[in-house]
């Protein structure tokens, strides 16, 4: 039984440390609509985005996050979207479904403001059964799979011109209550956060465009989780191929590449993120991202 208690304590510390670094897509400009309901579709009126992030660290059962997002312009002013997210860290897992409504205010042909709202529900689960298998021990039945459903709202604003885009959003307005059952307490990882994104499209020549982007992420309420800044710089060649690098104040750097598939009418991208530190917990930051964004005109 002592081995079980020790293992639970280690698991709890690992979860706490990893939860402070929730998965954030490495590609900024291609994924900000996941965190901002003010949807802006640049190249089509109908898009399906599929993306997966996985940990490459040495910690077994490290963080894995998958997103599925579909957005459609209903008319020149209204865009609707739906999103599904699955997040898993060791024995914790969370599934979230969201619906977005975005309204466009056209300031001029090249200047657009989008205002959006989001309604979402999530299922949070702790599967203590995954701790089974310790020699000479069993899991207390009171600790077996526990879960909780949460409901939340969010809002955002987004500005776009031919050269500049910028947005701010709070995708979850309310903190989730703690999950408590049979005397066991754990914090549901759904906190009020502020996201701010800005990016540029700088034409260098007829063939090349520089695409710098930056995202700021911060907890609104007082917490020991630090604010983070993520930066990308992509070199765009004729909208057919992009390659670049990124840096995050989480002390990681990344290499990014994406290309346009005419056959699929889709952008396909891959990124690798590496921690600048080599200790065990920071090794969990080593991750990869693969995405496909299908444009359904």
| Angstrom distance (rounded) from CA 116 to CA 297 | 22
What CATH code is assigned to 2-295?
A: 2.40.160.40
pLDDT (tens digit, 0 to 9) for every residue of the chain, 297 residues total? Answer: 444 443 344 344 444 444 444 568 899 999 988 999 998 776 678 999 999 999 865 556 678 899 999 999 999 899 999 999 998 887 788 899 999 999 999 999 889 999 999 999 988 887 766 655 544 445 555 555 566 788 999 999 999 999 999 999 999 998 875 555 444 555 555 678 999 999 999 999 999 999 999 999 999 887 788 999 999 999 999 999 999 999 999 889 999 999 999 999 999 999 999 988 766 455 556 889 999 999 987
Predicted confidence at residue 131, as pLDDT, reads 58
Closest alpha carbon to 266 in 43, 111, 89, 92: 43
How far is C-alpha 55 from the geometric centre of its chain's CA atoms?
A: 13
Contact present, 145 and 152 (Cβ < 8 Å): no
* Residue found by looking up tokens 């209550």 in the block: 177
Predicted confidence at residue 180, as pLDDT, reads 53
Predicted confidence at residue 231, as pLDDT, reads 97
HEC secondary structure over 134-179: CCCCCCCHHHCCEEEEEEEEEEEEEEECCCEEEEEEECCCCCCCCE
Predicted confidence at residue 213, as pLDDT, reads 97
Predicted confidence at residue 296, as pLDDT, reads 86
Predicted confidence at residue 42, as pLDDT, reads 64
- Torsions phi, psi of 4, nearest 5? -65, -45
| Angstrom distance (rounded) from CA 184 to CA 10 | 16
Predicted confidence at residue 16, as pLDDT, reads 43
Alpha-carbon distance values, 107 to 42, 97, 116, 125, 156 (Å): 16, 32, 17, 45, 18
| Angstrom distance (rounded) from CA 74 to CA 233 | 32
Predicted confidence at residue 139, as pLDDT, reads 54
Predicted confidence at residue 243, as pLDDT, reads 98
| Angstrom distance (rounded) from CA 38 to CA 114 | 5
**Half-sphere exposure at residue 151, Cβ-oriented, CA atoms within 13 angstroms:** 1
């Amino acid at each position: 039984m002592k081995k079980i208690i020790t293992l639970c304590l280690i698991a709890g510390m690992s979860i706490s440390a990893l939860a402070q670094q929730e998965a954030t897509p490495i590609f900024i400009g291609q994924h900000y609509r996941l965190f901002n309901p003010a949807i802006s579709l640049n190249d089509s009126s109908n898009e399906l985005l599929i993306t997966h992030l996985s940990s490459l660290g040495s910690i077994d059962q490290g963080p894995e996050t998958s997103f599925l997002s579909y957005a459609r312009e209903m008319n020149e002013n209204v865009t609707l979207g739906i999103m599904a997210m699955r997040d898993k860290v060791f024995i914790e897992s969370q599934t979230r479904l969201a619906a977005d409504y975005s309204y466009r205010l056209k300031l001029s042909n090249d200047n657009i403001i989008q205002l959006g709202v989001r309604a979402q529900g999530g299922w949070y689960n702790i599967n203590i059964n995954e701790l089974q298998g310790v020699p000479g021990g069993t899991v207390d039945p009171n600790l077996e799979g526990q879960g909780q459903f949460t409901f939340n709202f969010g809002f955002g604003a987004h500005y776009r011109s031919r050269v500049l885009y910028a947005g701010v959003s709070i995708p979850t307005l309310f903190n989730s209550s703690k999950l408590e059952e049979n005397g066991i307490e754990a914090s549901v990882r759904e906190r009020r956060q502020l996201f701010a994104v800005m990016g540029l499209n700088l034409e260098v020549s007829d063939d090349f465009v520089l695409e710098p982007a930056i995202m700021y992420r911060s907890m609104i309420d007082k917490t020991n989780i630090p604010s983070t800044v993520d930066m990308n710089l992509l070199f765009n060649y004729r909208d057919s191929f992009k390659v670049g690098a990124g840096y995050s104040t989480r002390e990681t750097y990344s290499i990014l590449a994406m290309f346009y598939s005419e056959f699929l009418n889709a952008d396909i991208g891959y990124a690798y993120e590496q921690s600048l530190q080599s200790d065990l917990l920071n090794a969990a930051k080593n991750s990869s991202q693969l995405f496909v964004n299908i444009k359904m005109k």
